[in-house]
Amino acid sequence: MNNVIRHLLCALMISISLSAAARDIYSLNRGWTFSTGSSDATDRGLLINLPHTWNNDAIVGKSDYFRGEGYYDRQIDIPAEWNGKRLFIRILGSNSVTNFWVNGRHVGEHRGGSSAFTFEITDFVRFGQSNLLRIVTNNSPRMDVLPTAGEANCYGGLYRGVELFVTDSFIISPLVDGSEGVWIEQRQVSDRRAEGVVRVALSGTKGVPDQSRVSIQISDADQNPVTDGVVEVTAGCDTVEVPFTIENPTLWQGIENPYLYHIDVCLTAGNRVVDSLSITTGFRNLAIDPKQGFMLNGKPYKLRGAVLHRDRMMAGTALTMLQLEEDFNMLLEMGANAVRIAGGQHSDYFYTLCDTHGIVVWSDGPFEGQSYATDCQFVKTREFAQNGEDQLRETIHQLYNHPSVAFWGIFSKLNYRGDDPTEYVRRLNSLAKTLDPSRITAAVSNQDGTLNFITDAIVFEHSLGWTTESPDDIAVWSEQFRGQWGDKLCAGVSFAAGGSIYHQDSKLSRPQPTGQWHPEGWHTHFHERYMDNLKGSEGFFGIFVTNLFDYGAAGRTYGDGKGINDCGLVTFDRKDKKDAFFLYKALWNTTDPFVHIVGRRYDTRTSLRQTIKVYSNQAEVDLVLNDFPVSSKTGESGIFVWEGLELQPGINRIEARSGWSTDKISIFIEGGTNVGAAVVRTAPRSRTNL
């Protein structure tokens, strides 16, 4: 077939596929009946819509929250005219062991709580009748399903959604590890040429008609075709590869230029379109080494990011698209260009947001170290090993086409207590490199040892100045690290300290991490000192602040309310951004002018003499006290400080200004003494900014 005919055929088949309904997808998110194993009858259960979790008890910090079986039942009418079609159920998120029945017949089981999975139900349904779907999900602790350790809540439920696919008999397979069955393999990428293959998994290939083909067309961001390709499909062939070359591609360059291409894949049998998919991706190359750090398209690209846990108050992990967008917008607002998603796979929509806006993603797996004495992080059994590999394989196959994903997280904060996990970590790392040699393997460590030298990159998580001594000790550690290991390890830095917006204190002293007092002032000071000591971050490929949000940890009985890890920059309910959030916005966000007065929640004080601090990404800030200008200051690293200001007894109005940006607070001085005071609030109280 000459090139002219091939291009015409590709264009014709793609054009037909875009107008033909090759597969139908139906949302099944509404009208489920939910009950637990303690219910006497499932038909008297609670009528719910998805996404859903039953663990409101975990969200409010009940340490012995319900971990067991939840039953989801739904009737679905299957039209008689679908007879001869193939039907699939895709479950987008269910934690953590899921069994699926149709009309009382067991279809299959899935083990793992963060990835999607698909079952074919063609042989289980009754066409022209109503059919009963039953999904039983179980979040009980197990020693053969990861994670087996860690403090984050293990919410039960169908927490993302359920879809029904109706297809032809000969299709692009939806059965490969819950993926779409299409992977854009980028083999050589530069600004001169992008080369690779579109790998397509097929199903129903026995007795394939003559002249069956897979055609691709790649278009730029303006939908202009740039290249295409076609390959023949023979009987029994379950995978085909369509090579492609793009001359002078526009590369996906993070937040600077998150450029995306569109790949249309069309499966034809004879002259009939039987299936098609559209994939969006970006072309880029990734590299990392100890001297140059993280490289994006051959250029050093310093990562400034935050760690994201996947739950929130009143929702758990059952997040809506609007909630996902709200979380993502706060990541953008702080000026991050990277995110580490902790504990497992997030919603696919979140990765799409990262693709579109240029956020580099580190996607963690569920292999986590001990948080509690009862945790068993690694179990040296065949079942444990197989489950860890299965979950890693699912994550890679499902996220493969997202250009934002740069790192596969292999483990997080493992130790050497009990069975040694070293050889198993090597096994996981090798599997990740085999499945996807184009990306970087990574891990999070909080100790020395051989584990730090297995993955391509390592991030060291610190709590210096929180659990021990002073936050300035990070400077000593970083200097020692660069001297001893800087040319051997590709390392980044992460750090965490607790802080409650309801705990306000004039004293600046390190609190007890396991105590009830986690003052926001120390949390702010902790982050200031880390960022000052890591200024420039020479020798480290990136910084990942732990965490962007507080998260649910029902086993915690200390700090900001029962059952919350309060190390976030934003509260668990997303209603309040802590002062430290605005420190990072001042340092990292160069596009949105702002000013923020620090200590606004410490609004009742006793000393007349006060220090006022402002965070801003502007060069100069003016301060106004009780309608009288104080002075203008230029800041260092986004911090502006007025020391020894004399306030008056009663209400004091304070305003910071820079251009059009303003911020106002009021501080009430009680008694006019020079003695500091602590303020404890058990619930938010209304505050009026004048």
Q: Could you tell me the residue ranges of all domains in the chain?
A: 3-16+177-281, 31-172, 604-680
The 8 Å CB, 24+ separation contacts for 255-260 are 255/337, 255/357, 255/358, 255/359, 256/358, 257/358, 258/282, 258/355, 258/356, 258/357, 258/358, 258/403, 258/404, 259/221, 260/221, 260/355, 260/356, 260/403
Q: Which letter, b or e, does each residue of 53-62 get, where b requires 16 or more Cβ atoms within 10 Å of its Cβ? A: bbbebbbbbe
pLDDT of residue 4: 43
Contacts of 153 (CB under 8 A, 6+ apart): 55, 58, 59, 65, 311, 316, 551, 552, 553, 554, 563
pLDDT at residue 39, as a whole number: 59
Topology of 3-16+177-281 in CATH? Immunoglobulin-like (2.60.40)
DSSP strand pairing (503-505 vs 678-680): antiparallel
23 or 374: whose pLDDT is higher?
A: 23
- What pLDDT is attached to residue 123? 98
- State the pLDDT at residue 690: 26
Asked if the domains at 3-16+177-281 and 604-680 fall in one CATH topology, the answer is yes
- Residue 252 φ/ψ, nearest 5 degrees: -75, 110
pLDDT interval class at 206 (50, 70, 90): confident
Summary mean pLDDT of the chain = 93
Distance separating alpha carbons of residues 259 and 282, to the nearest angstrom:
6
Q: Left, alpha or beta for 111 (phi > 0: left; psi -120 to 50: alpha)?
A: beta
Question: Residue 680: pLDDT above 80?
Answer: no
Does CATH number 2.60.120.260 belong to domain 31-172? yes
Is the Cβ–Cβ distance between 439 and 407 less than 8 Å?
A: yes
Domain 604-680: which CATH class? mainly beta
The helix/strand/coil state of 522 is helix
Verdict on whether the full-model pTM lies above 0.85: yes
Asked whether the predicted pLDDT for residue 683 surpasses 80, the reply is no
pLDDT recorded at residue 41: 58
Q: How far apart are CA 624 and CA 612, in angstroms?
A: 11
Residue 168 burial (10 A CB sphere; 0-12, 13-18, 19+): middle
Q: In whole angstroms, what is the distance from residue 387 CA to residue 414 CA? A: 17
**What is the spatial distance between Cα 545 and Cα 171, in angstroms, rounded to a whole number?**
44
CA atoms within 13 A on the CB side of 404: 27
C-alpha–C-alpha distance, residues 495 and 126, integer Å? 56
Among 485, 488, 344, smallest CA distance to 410 is for: 344
User: 């934690």: which residue's tokens?
Assistant: 95
Confidence of residue 595 (pLDDT cuts 50, 70, 90): very high
**pLDDT given for residue 562 in this prediction:** 86
Q: What is the mean pLDDT of residues 566-594?
A: 98
Q: What share of the chain is helix, strand, coil (3-state, %, to 5)?
A: 20, 40, 45
Q: How many CB atoms lie within 10 A of CB 381?
A: 12
pLDDT score for 43 = 65
Average pLDDT estimate for 348-377: 94
pLDDT at residue number 674: 45
Phi-psi region of 256 (alpha: psi -120 to 50; beta: other; left: phi over 0): alpha
Asked whether the beta carbons of 209 and 237 are under 8 A apart, the reply is no
Query: Alpha carbon 296 to chain centroid distance?
Result: 20
289-347: pLDDT as tens digits: 998 999 999 999 999 999 999 999 999 999 999 999 999 999 999 999 999 999 999 99
CA dihedral defined by 331, 334, 338, 340, rounded to 10 degrees? -60
Q: Which two tokens stand for residue 76?
A: 């679905």
Q: Can you give the C-alpha Rg of the chain in angstroms?
A: 27
Please state, in angstroms and rounded to a whole number, the distance separating the CA atoms of residues 443 and 484: 20
Rounded to the nearest 5 degrees, what angle is found at the Cα of 445, between the Cα atoms of 444 and 451? 105
Euclidean distance between CA atoms 277 and 595, whole angstroms: 47
Which pLDDT tens digit goes with each residue over 445-466? 999 999 999 999 999 999 999 9
How far is the CA of 378 from the CAs of 112, 151, 263, 669, in angstroms? Answer: 16, 15, 41, 55
The number of beta carbons lying within 10 Å of the beta carbon of residue 187 is 12
Query: Does the pLDDT value for residue 428 go beyond 50?
Result: yes
Q: Phi and psi for 275 in degrees, rounded to 5?
A: -165, 155
Residues listed for the chain:
690
Q: Rounded distance, CA 234 to CA 146, Å?
A: 39
For 277-305, write each residue's pLDDT tens digit. Answer: 999 999 999 999 998 999 999 999 999 99
Taking 70 as the threshold, does the pLDDT of residue 665 lie above it?
A: yes
- In the structure encoding, which two tokens stand for residue 26, read together? 């139906």
CA distance 561 to 681: 11
Reported as type and span, the H/E element at residue 353 is helix 348-357
**Other beta carbons less than 10 A from residue 68's beta carbon:** 13
> According to the model, what pLDDT value does residue 42 have?
59
Mean pLDDT of 158-166: 97
Which phi and psi angles does 321 have, rounded to 5°?
A: -60, -40
Residues contacting residue 466 through CB under 8 Å, at least 6 positions apart: 496, 497, 498, 510, 513, 526
pLDDT at 38: 63
Helix ranges (H only) for 376-458 are 382-399, 422-435
